[in-house]
Amino acid sequence: MDTAQARAILDAAVVEFNPSHVFALFSGGHDSLVSTYLTSQHPRFSGVIHCNTGIGIEETRQFVRETCARHGWPLIERMPPRVSWEEICLQGGMPGGPMKHLITYHRLKNEAVKQIVAESKTHRFDRILLSTGIRQEESTRRMRLHPVPTRREGSLVWLSPILEWTALDVGRAIEAWGLKRNRVVDLLHRSGECLCGALARPEEIEEIEYWFPKVAKRIHQMERECERLGLPNRWGSHFSGRRDARQQWLPLCQDCRTRWDEPWASQVSDKKAPDVAYEGRA
């Protein structure tokens, strides 16, 4: 692991864009744990952002809260500002497929981040930096779409300080820095902070049922309600829907990375995607 390089990437971004706020996005996963720890050591560090999607494993949310408290990191935990996962399901059925994933992404995560960015800006031309745990190795999609660690979109600067790290690097950093691991990640191999199901595999619910039956029960209750209303009612039916190039740049959905190694993922266009992660313009 190249800690010096990761810090240099962050330093360079702060110098280039001079953001008024430097936030770390912390999903509860181990990649974002490491990137958050690195970011917290910068003198311009402002705090942590956690998107509470309302449909995730509570143990992960508690892990985020406890980790931030342990290290003294200011935490902004934000729920979807306009609509809940249940309301999305009752309006159009259980989310399934890339197009539905785009909708849930914006409603459950992106709108919350846009709200925080708007609240944090000090003037029209201000920049807000968000540090993520995105790694180039983690999937073919990431390898294809994140060749550089910094990307600016209007007022927002996305940063990936551990872009070139491997999973082994992340594990070694957690051990070397004495960071506490998230039990959910060790059990499910993902943070579980969002279980909207839009890009999930049907068999994943079995793992959730075994380890976290309360959230699985909630998912099944919504499946039954959608069935009663005559709406799509299968969690994890991600093969439905058409392909969408805008899926290529959704930095708030790191847990969905392996879904893009499916056969249909390779058919998505490699041309530049529209700027959908943040719509604000300076």
Residue 128 in any domain: the answer is yes
Residue 194 in any domain: the answer is yes
Q: Pick the range with the lowest mean pLDDT from 50-64, 87-101, 141-155, 183-197.
A: 141-155
Residue 13 in any domain: the answer is yes
Contact 141, 257 (CB under 8 A): yes
Q: How far is CA 69 from the centre of its chain?
A: 21
Q: Is 30 helix (H, G, I), strand (E, B) or coil?
A: helix
pLDDT value, residue 55: 95
pLDDT value, residue 98: 84
* 48 DSSP 8-state letter: E
* 2 DSSP 8-state letter: -
Cα–Cα distance, 99 to 199 (Å, whole number): 10
Residue 223 in any domain: the answer is yes
Cα–Cα distance, 175 to 257 (Å, whole number): 24
As a whole number of Å, the CA-based R_g of the chain is 18
More confident: 47 or 98: 47
Average of pLDDT values for 244-249? 53
Residue 282 in any domain: the answer is no
Q: Which two tokens stand for residue 157?
A: 């600067």
Residues whose CB is less than 8 angstroms from the CB of residue 278 and which lie 6 or more positions away in sequence, other chains included: 110, 113, 114, 117, 153, 154, 155, 156
Contact 61, 196 (CB under 8 A): no
Question: Half-sphere exposure of residue 42, counting CA atoms within 13 Å on the CB side?
Answer: 30
Q: What is the pLDDT of residues 1-32, one digit of tens each?
A: 789 999 999 999 999 999 999 999 999 999 99
Residues in the chain: 282
* Number of separate domains in the chain: 1
Domain of residue 8 covers 3-267
Residue 217 in any domain: the answer is yes
Using CA atoms of 110, 61, 257, 102 in order, give the dihedral in degrees to the nearest 10.
-30
- Global pTM reads 0.86
pLDDT value, residue 267: 39
Which string of b and e fits 164-200 if b means at least 16 CB within 10 Å?
bbeeebbeebbeeeebeebebbebbebbbbbbbbbbb
Q: What is the pLDDT of residues 151-169, one digit of tens each?
A: 999 999 999 999 999 999 9
Residue 272 in any domain: the answer is no
Say yes or no to pLDDT of 75 above 80: yes
pLDDT value, residue 261: 45
CATH code for the domain of 257: 3.40.50.620
pLDDT value, residue 254: 66
Residue 62 in any domain: the answer is yes
DSSP letter for each residue of 253-274: -GGGGGGGGSGGGGGS--SPPP
